[in-house]
Amino acid sequence: MSEPMVIAVGYKKGSMHRIINHLIQLQELRVARAQQEASMQGARLSQLDASIQTLFEQLPQDLAAQYRKIEKKGLLAIVPVTNGVCSACGMSLPVSLVHAVHAADSLYLCPNCARMLYYPESRPRHVGRRKRRSEPAKVGIERFSSSDLMIPRLVSQQRDDIIAELCDKMEVEGFVDDAGRLREEALKREAIISTAVEHGLAFPHVRGVEGGGLTLALGLHRKGVRFGGPGRSLTRIIFFMVIPTAASAFYLKLLSGLAQTFQDEEPRERLFEAETPEQLWKALVKTTKARIQ
């Protein structure tokens, strides 16, 4: 195998960590912008564009150009190494390259997909239950959730507590291993820009969860809460998702399908007719059938 490609060298020891964190922050803003477009919220794009431009200007020109070049191939330009594997393309990396990425004295590219690599801090881990052989093939929203992850009546009254309630549900039902860390990551994402949109919807989430597939929990708040969205609107329908790195692009399609479905009042009201997790699950499957395949 050829030598791994290095794209940033010559920096003082320790400075590469700052550059990697800068690139990750830039990518989070780029993803947040794509999420705003997918949820049909264009009003806050100018705010994100200004922040993105500032971060690009603060990068060395060669790295900024490399980032833009990689990003043209897909949404993600810098991705974590997970268990010795590039989390974007799934290629097993040479042990020597994994060690080099961990040392972070230079910035390396994946030999297969050419994305920038970094070694992450510990992340929440997806431990979703395996599909039984006897189960029929799942379609639509059933691929990403189940009645076990439905909460028809959220009891919390604040945004952070609601996110914690949904994270706890995922852990209790055996889909993730660390609800506390999951909550921390979700709140970091909310700090970039709120995931609440119009029509009382919010899409808090955590990207880069290790292992498993994209998983969704749904909670309803009957009175509505302040979630930090546009204007003074209250949020009543909260979709919480954990997203492996490899599923980041597909997540935008799911987000778009949910936003389009529930921009109309009738599907929203169908959800609120549910009193049990099973009823809420049936309503979600039925209302999303046309747009989420």
Which H or E run includes 34? helix 15-38
Higher pLDDT, 107 or 125: 107
Higher pLDDT, 249 or 230: 249
pLDDT digits (tens, 9 = 90+) for 63-84: 999 999 999 888 789 999 988 9
Alpha carbons 173 and 129: distance in angstroms, whole number: 9
pLDDT at 35: 84
Q: Which domains does the chain have, with CATH numbers?
A: 6-118 (1.10.287.1490), 140-288 (3.40.930.10)
Please give the share of the chain, as a percent, with pLDDT higher than 90: 57
For residue 42, give the amino acid letter: G
Read off the pLDDT band of 127 (50, 70, 90).
Answer: low
Count of beta carbons in the 10 Å neighbourhood of residue 55: 18
Residue 131 has pLDDT above 50, yes or no: no
Residue 123 has pLDDT above 80, yes or no: no
Closest C-alpha to 225, from 291, 293, 282, 153: 153
Residue 3 has pLDDT above 60, yes or no: no
pLDDT at 121: 74
Q: Largest Cα–Cα distance of the chain, in whole Å?
A: 61
| 244 within 8 A of 280, measured Cβ to Cβ | no
pLDDT at 32: 87
Helix (H, G, I), strand (E, B) or coil at 139: coil
Alpha carbons 129 and 212: distance in angstroms, whole number: 9
* Strand-pair partners of 8: 107
pLDDT digits (tens, 9 = 90+) for 141-151: 999 999 999 99
pLDDT at 79: 92
Q: What is the mean pLDDT of residues 281-291?
A: 96
Residue 153 has pLDDT above 80, yes or no: yes
pLDDT digits (tens, 9 = 90+) for 8-41: 544 555 578 889 989 998 998 998 888 888 886 6
Read off the pLDDT band of 97 (50, 70, 90).
Answer: very high
Residue 130 has pLDDT above 50, yes or no: no
Q: What is the mean pLDDT of residues 274-289?
A: 97
pLDDT at 192: 87
Pairing assessment for the beta strands 78-82 and 116-118 based on DSSP bridges: parallel
Count of beta carbons in the 10 Å neighbourhood of residue 59: 16
Identify the residue whose tokens are 């390259």. 97
pLDDT digits (tens, 9 = 90+) for 213-238: 899 999 999 999 999 866 678 999 99
Mean pLDDT of the chain: 87
Alpha carbons 57 and 208: distance in angstroms, whole number: 26
In whole angstroms, what separates CA 177 from the centre of its chain? 17
Residues 6+ apart with CB under 8 A from 283: 270, 271, 273, 274
